[in-house]
Amino acid sequence: MPDTSVKYFHSGLTGAPVLSGTAGSLVAVLDACLVNGFAVSAVASLVVASNIATATISGGHSAEVGSVVLVSGATPSGLNSEKKVLSVGAGNTTLTFDAPGISDQTASGTISLKLAGAGWSKEFTGTNLAAYKSNNVAGTGCRLRVDDTAGKTARVVGYETMTAISTGSGPFPTSTQRSGGSWWTKSTVADGSSRTWTLVADDRMFYLITGYHPTYPAGGAFMGFGDFLPVKSGDAWGCVLSGYASDKSGSAPGDTNDFGVLRNAADELYFARSYGGVGSAATAYKAFSLLTPSTSTGFASGAGPMPYPNGPDQGLYLSQLNLFESFAGAFRGVAPGVYCCPQTVPLGLFAANAVITDVANLMERQVRVMPFGAGVTTAAFAFFDTTGPWR
């Protein structure tokens, strides 16, 4: 069975929530993608033949190949669960998914499907405020508090625990490290103009890229929150928050705080705590495999020192994104599901949300590409594993 733990959403999907420079628009995107799912569609018929189910949705659906849909209301009940879409018919009125163990038949019931949420809960709320937590009991249990009361940006803080929307302990960053939290960028203007976005998640980590600046359609802000893959088994504080040190809504894309930028500086990321578990939030930075960053040699994914294509095999190569604790120089773990390119990739080589299956060192993995960061002359690309699982 195809893995369904990885969810890939973007603003181009029919029924996707609108991100804009208005209060609450980011919370609406996070609610839809992380918690509730979206784009409920009535299924006119659901037919199983040779262990493949074909759903017909007369009014059309929002899924694309690789989307994960949640089917409900069907008999037999084995058809009701998360399913990865294998194919999509013309006009988006049909889709197929695997139905192992289900005999050939036409399902009955009042059947519907929607794009499935990523497996998070919204633990606390307020007016344009939200606190999100992974539902996975194996996770660290850290929360993300989002203050979306402003127009062009939101403020975000991670917490070890929370008891109310404005009450928590173990903040990261602390108020001393970054007063008010990190910035997440939504739009250049405080109005209802829609902005593009892509959110990729499993049930313990998510990444968000926002095309906040319409002058630079190939650039954007790259942020993330959740549990990384720790090198130490049982790392109770293995949660990371990525965001910006200031309001970047009026600036062109391209910032050292972009999640897909390699740079050794103390203001890049924040862990819930240091690896020893003592004290408060720990600052962190990012590095690509086999390449050592410094404060003066930082570069974005797709704008690295290696040539593209690689000479011997004409290949595209991707690197895991390693996370290091600042000052201690300690390798804490790997950002799950996201890959970065240490090569110099031509601007425009990949369209937004493009699918590639021929990465030289990630054979048999489907990867989706999203530009971020740099503006009109320099490429910056994030690469997401959508085959899954990430863990």
For position 375, what pLDDT does the model report?
57
Q: Which residues pair with 201 in a beta bridge?
A: 7, 206
Cβ-contact 99, 53 below 8 angstroms: yes
For position 262, what pLDDT does the model report?
82
Please give the single-letter amino acid code of residue 104: D
For position 293, what pLDDT does the model report?
52
214: nearest Cα among 183, 253, 264: 253
Cβ-contact 203, 141 below 8 angstroms: no
For position 326, what pLDDT does the model report?
85
Which residue stretches of the chain have pLDDT < 50? 290, 292, 295-296
* Dist CA 373 CA 274 (whole Å): 28
In tens, the pLDDT along 61-105 reads 999 999 999 999 999 999 999 999 999 999 999 999 999 999 999
* Dist CA 197 CA 248 (whole Å): 16
For position 218, what pLDDT does the model report?
82
* Dist CA 70 CA 87 (whole Å): 15
